[in-house]
Amino acid sequence: MWIADNWKDYEVLDTSSGEKLERWGDYLLVRPDPQVIWNTEKKNPGWRKKNGHYHRSSKGGGEWEFFHLPNEWSIHYGSLTFNLKPFSFKHTGLFPEQATNWDWFGKLIREADRPIKVLNLFAYTGGATLAAAAAGASVTHVDASKGMVTWAKENAVSSGLGDAPIRWLVDDCVKFVEREIRRGNHYDAIIMDPPSYGRGPKGEIWKIEESIFPFIELTTQILSDNPLFFLVNSYTTGLQPAVLSYMIHTALVPKFGGSVKADEIGLPVKENGLVLPCGASGRWTK
- What's the average pLDDT block by block, 10 residues per block, for the chain (286 residues)? 98 97 98 95 96 90 94 98 93 97 98 98 97 98 96 98 98 95 98 83 73 95 98 87 97 98 98 96 97
Per the CB < 8 A criterion, the answer to whether 168 and 141 are in contact is yes
**What pLDDT does 232 receive?**
97
pLDDT number for residue 200: 64
Q: Which of 186, 282, 266 is nearest to 225 (CA)?
A: 186
Strand duo 52-56 + 27-32: pairing: parallel
Q: What is the dihedral of CA 165, 168, 172, 177, to 10 degrees?
A: -20
Distance CA 94, CA 72 (A): 13
Write down the pLDDT at residue 201: 61
Domains along the chain with CATH numbers? 2-84 (2.60.40.1180), 97-285 (3.40.50.150)
